[in-house]
Amino acid sequence: MYNKFFPIILAFSTILMSGCNHGAGKKEKVVSYHELYDRFPTKKIFKMPADHTKAHYGYTANDQQGHHSWYYGQYTKQGFVEAPYSDKKQEFSNSEVRLKGALIEGSGATRCWISKYSGQIVVDGKFIANENSELIIMLRNIIVAEYEVPKNETKYIEVPLTVALKDELYLIVKGSALFNPTIHFKIKDDTPLHYESAVDTNCPHVGDVHPLYVNGQLRNYYLSTNGRLTSDMAISDDLVVFRDTNTRASSTNPPMTEGFATRVFMHEDVFYSYYGAYNRYEYTKSSDGYVFENGVNLDEKFNIIGQFNIDERYIWGRDPYAFFDPDINKYRIVSLNYIKDRTPTSYPEIDLSLYTSINDEPHLISSEAIPLINLGVTNNEPEVPMMIKINKRWYLFACLSGRTHNGVGPLSYWIGDENKKIEQVDWNSKKEHILTGEDLCAAQIAEIRGRYYLYGWIAQDHINSQWGGTINVPQEVYQREDGTLGVCLDEYLKEKLSKGTASNVFFDPYSTTGMFDIDTKILQKGNKNDTFASLTLTSKHKRALIKAKFSNLGNDAVTGVEINNNGSIYQIRYSATSNNIQVTKKGVGIAFSKYETDTESHTELDFVVIAEGSILEAFINGRYALSARIDETLTNFNVGVYTTKNEVQLDEFKVSQLATKNNFQDN
């Protein structure tokens, strides 16, 4: 028998099957967030990394003391005593303590690590208190750190130490908690959570992203920023952490384009990708989604398959997006088509148009197009268009270029009528909506097991219009009752991205320019003539997940979160008077990214902010998302909140340690 993985039961388990708890959701079965994100090991771990150890390397599927130098028992007045393993309960336990997976419970329940290393270490991890609990860390029988954590709260633990060979490190719990710490040798790992490619192409940024979910993995096909627009792909098992792949062109039957894998789709277990070849569209194909070859060929009736000319009313086209339309049981391609080309003195005239397959396969496509939207003569070219059906409506998406300093625009969308086929909708009459802020470029949406997630690239520079950037943290897209779309960071992912609370306004030190009543939760100006009231937590951070909730805002205030990085202050702010969200730099007048909200003022605000490197990703009220690239790297910052209103209610304000690439899956 062996010790099975002990699952963490999070406080928000009741929302695992819901969307972001707003508006209408898909009626068919929707997969739980746990199934999308959690990839925790369940088999016994034998191979040990050279630069660290984790508690679960010892306890996963293990019933023996000492595996990878981890021991389980109780710390008493007489010292550490090992606890026997119970085959029946699949845990190390005695009459007073139990240790099962990440769970440590009882009076003096202890994990002991015996060092096989000599030098500097850092112990860190997320401590989740099931009840009021105490954590004591001891080295050489000397207490080096103590924490008291209230019931249902979390705490980020980070303790630097110096150990000698065969030193005994004790992690002692009084109460009940989940704790799976990492012991880093020499320095603490801080590998960024955000993916930047450098292995395959030596280019740190990715171009236009095209997500495809298949066989339990998300494949983000993208165009390289190597100057040749070569296709490549990053893959993820959990939607968040990506790794490089050896995606390439076939050497025996090479495609006719460097961009051989952009909008990739599957038909009968084969991967296909259409691309623009000036006045025609052609496809590539692949048996595994990694090696792509030229797909143009002849069928048994000598028809050319995988190639078709664009409609004769157009001179050229690009950015084809192929998809299956269940309303007519055929494949469709929506693409950008030029009626007139750009000249040195005039802009082009453009349609977004729809092509349809001859039958229920993607190989033979009619050249007769259905114009959907005529953009007219414009500099705002509708790039990377796509179409998705959500419940009873079709949605048309495109990124209109030339609107921002990034060149590539934010994601626009048009809403189809309920229960109407694509060609029955008067798309030209539909209002344009904006789904993302301006710094998340060329974004596309993937359907992932009943949910919808948005991926694009966050601009690589805060002011220049360089093409390509960094893949964002997954943003869930959901349908609201009126057919408009919202974007959120779901509760499960929020908790998984948090590696424990580092500072909480209701438990930890802060400073304020005004007054804050911890009982009433009222933050107010010290004087009514003051410009604003602010409160700043004193803890310092290199990476963070920030949560702040305000109420009683009124309709004329500017309220937000401030990040002070070595004296440079960045604000994520909502203005009730101008109805917009911005990421700005205080005192400089720079707006790195902005988003226009709807016209209604929000008297309650719920901010969630991811801060890592030079990237800020903000989610507001579970409806709006704003990504931004700022002008410096965050290295040593504290976090505050502020408002121009005389007084507001600060219902929640905490800063947690943000996950890294290498600890995202840790409990």
Question: Residues with Cβ < 8 Å from 271, sequence gap 6 or more?
Answer: 261, 264, 265, 285, 286, 287, 288, 289, 292
400-410 pLDDT, tens digit each: 998 877 778 88
Contact by Cβ (8 Å): 614, 585: no
174 contacts: CB under 8 Å, gap ≥ 6: 106, 107, 108, 109, 133, 134, 136
Confidence at 438, pLDDT banded by 50, 70, 90: confident
**638 within 8 A of 537, measured Cβ to Cβ:** yes
The 10s digit of each residue's pLDDT in 294-309 is: 999 998 889 999 999 9
Q: Which residue has the higher pLDDT, 287 or 199?
A: 287
pLDDT recorded at residue 197: 74
Average pLDDT in the 100-104 region? 97
CA nearest neighbour of 653 among 557, 542, 535, 541: 535
pLDDT of amino acid 633: 96
Give the pLDDT of residue 484.
96
Neighbours of 238 (CB within 10 A): 19
- pLDDT tier at 626 (50, 70, 90 boundaries)? very high
pLDDT more than 90, % of the chain = 81
Q: Does 3 score more than 80 pLDDT?
A: no
Give residue 2's pLDDT. Answer: 32
pLDDT band at 528 (very low <50, low <70, confident <90, very high): confident
Domains with residue ranges and CATH for the chain: 13-185 (2.60.120), 206-471 (2.115.10.20), 492-658 (2.60.120.560)
- d(Cα 594, Cα 603) in Å, to the nearest integer? 20
Reported confidence tier of residue 19, pLDDT bands at 50, 70, 90: low
What is the secondary structure of 163-213 as a DSSP string? E-TT-EEEEEEEEEEEE--EEEESS-----SS----SSSS-SSEEEEEEEE
DSSP 8-state secondary structure symbol assigned to residue 444: E
Q: State the average pLDDT over residues 533-538.
A: 96
CB 284, CB 275: distance < 8 Å: yes
What average pLDDT score do residues 142-169 get? Answer: 97
Mean pLDDT for the stretch of residues 602-622:
95
Distance CA 580, CA 582 (A): 7
Q: What is the pLDDT of residue 8?
A: 38
Backbone φ, ψ for residue 382 (5° rounding): -80, 85
Quick one: pLDDT band at residue 40, thresholds 50, 70, 90? confident
- Identify the DSSP state of 357: B
Q: Could you tell me the sign of the dihedral formed by the alpha carbons of 537, 543, 545, 548, in that order? A: positive
Q: Is the pTM of this model over 0.85?
A: yes
> Tokens representing 354?
């729809």
Mean pLDDT over 563-581 rounds to: 93
SS3 state at 397: strand
Contact 641, 551 (CB under 8 A): no
- Which two tokens mark 274? 């259409």
**Predicted confidence (pLDDT) per residue in 109-120, tens digit:** 999 999 999 999
Contacts of 154 (CB under 8 A, 6+ apart): 126, 127, 128, 129, 498, 500, 501, 656
The pLDDT confidence band at residue 226, using thresholds 50, 70 and 90, is confident
pLDDT value at 179 more than 80: yes
CA dihedral 259, 263, 265, 271 (to 10 degrees): 10
pLDDT at 592: 86
Q: What is the pLDDT of residue 9?
A: 36
Q: Is the pLDDT of residue 21 over 60?
A: no
Question: Please, where are the H alpha helices in 447-591?
Answer: 491-497
Query: What whole-number distance in Å separates Cα of residue 609 and Cα of residue 628?
Result: 11
Return the minimum-mean-pLDDT range out of 270-274, 412-416, 520-524, 577-581.
577-581
Q: What is the mean pLDDT of residues 511-538?
A: 94
Give the pair of three-digit tokens for residue 205: 């940024």
pLDDT at 431 over 90: yes
pLDDT band for position 599 (50/70/90)? Answer: low
- Residue 15: per-residue pLDDT: 41
At residue 151, the pLDDT reads: 97
How do residues 460-513 score in pLDDT, each as one tens digit?
Answer: 888 777 888 999 999 999 999 999 999 999 999 999 999 999 999 999 999 999
pLDDT at 199: 53
Q: How far apart are CA 663 and CA 667, in angstroms?
A: 8
What pLDDT is recorded for position 330?
Answer: 98
Residue 430 to residue 209: CA distance in whole angstroms: 26
Average pLDDT, the chain: 92
